A and B are shown apart, each in its own frame.
Chain A
Amino acid sequence: MAKVKGAIVINIERCKGCEVCIDACPESVIAMNKNVNAKGYHFAMVTNENCTGCTNCAVVCPDGVITVYRVKVPTEV
């Protein structure tokens, strides 16, 4: 058995804070940072380690600011 672990990297300076990724994430990983970037937008941030690397957030992000990584982690018997 293996379980899938993912991680996302958000280009926070290009994020416009539209929040579409939050809706798209099945694991409720993403939230808005209360700080703003240089353009004055709140930006998306990772809030927990539940990411499975499904790429939904990156696919739906209008500005293409999310990069997704994924690994298979062997689970202990």
Chain B
Amino acid sequence: MAEITREEIIKPENLVYKKTDLLVDRALSYCPGCGHGTVHRMLMEVIEEMDIQSQTIGIAPVGCSVLAYEFLDIDMQQAAHGRAPALATAIKRLMPEKYVFTYQGDGDLAAIGTAETIHACNRGENIVIIFINNGIYGMTGGQMAPTTLPGMKASTCPYGRDTQIMGNPLKITELVATLPGTCYVTRHSVHTPANVRKTKRAIRKAFELSYANKGVSFVEVVSNCNSGWKMTPVQSNKWMEENMFPYYPLGDIKVPTV
């Protein structure tokens, strides 16, 4: 038998993976290799699979994903810096039949929005918080973030983060896991196919738990910022494995008790 040709394989009936239609058909504004795009796609795949587009309201933060609403084909609100959990609180309380999520970076969630994050988590709002931690302020040009590692360079710690002067990186995910209002707190990455698939399962679980009124589901994604870290995308993923994961270990931190 003759070898099957490429043209014979590329037919609609043989399709096994394509970008979800819930991502708007336009180029993402993120840098090459940035994890934001992957998390956006996993999020929208979950919304598509759960068939909850009409029931979902998302909140974009200030940061690189400030324009997330340009790419996600759902109703969205853009929040002031750090305030997304406050918006989400009101939306979910006023429209309890909706799925409500925030999508926030480390500066947004763990610096300027610390109060909103902790109190929304502590009140046990039935929302999903997706937290992208790349240890840097990407959009404003690579300044030190609350999660910048000790010794790690950024434009406002050009000689590396000196914890004696600049304080320590904040493990806010471990912190919110101690609060009674969170039901599911987990940390993932999207730098390998296996990790992407795990992240997607975590997002789905988070959406399901929030709808079951179990409290806050908090999904951290440790991600890269190759522009901010001044590396190639592939190098940045390797650097992330070697430096970020020891400080921010992947895996579940808190799972719902049955």
Contact = CB atoms under 8 A, between A and B. Distances in A.
Nearest to A70: B16
Given A41-B32, A60-B193, A69 B10 contact: yes
Contacts of A5: 4, 9
Contact of A59 (B1, B34, B193): B193
A19 B233 contact: yes
Contacts of B179: none
Contacts of B35: 62
B237 A62 contact: no
B10 to A, nearest CB: 5
B10 A62 contact: no
Contacts of A58: 17-18
A71 B9 contact: yes
Contact of B32 (A16, A24, A60, A67): A16
A68 interface: yes
B41 interface: yes
Contacts of B175: none
A63 B40 CA distance: 9
Contact of A68 (B18, B33, B36): B18
Interface string B205-247: 0000000000000000000001000001110010000000000
Nearest to B44: A64
Interface stretch (B22-30, B48-56, B83-91): B22-30
B49 to A, nearest CB: 14
A60 B9 contact: no
Interface in B153-211: 190-193, 196-197
Nearest to A76: B1
Interface residues of B, number: 38
A57 B190 CA distance: 12
Contacts of A73: 4
A73 B9 CA distance: 10
A7 B10 CA distance: 7
Given A59-B196, A60-B193, A62-B34, A20 B234 contact: yes
A19 B234 contact: yes
B38 interface: yes
A18 B185 CA distance: 30
Contacts of A16: 31-33
A14 B27 contact: yes
Contacts of B226: 18
Interface of A: 5-7, 9, 14, 16-20, 22-24, 39, 41, 49, 53, 55-71, 73-74, 76
The 4 A-B pairs of least Cβ separation, nearest first, read A18-B33, A16-B32, A62-B37, A64-B19
19 contacts: A7-B9, A9-B10, A18-B33, A18-B226, A19-B33, A20-B237, A23-B192, A41-B32, A53-B9, A58-B17, A58-B18, A61-B37, A63-B27, A64-B37, A67-B17, A68-B15, A71-B4, A71-B9, A76-B1
Given A5-B9, A24-B193, A62-B37, 12 more contacts: A6-B9, A6-B16, A20-B233, A23-B192, A24-B192, A56-B193, A59-B17, A61-B37, A62-B30, A66-B17, A68-B15, A71-B4
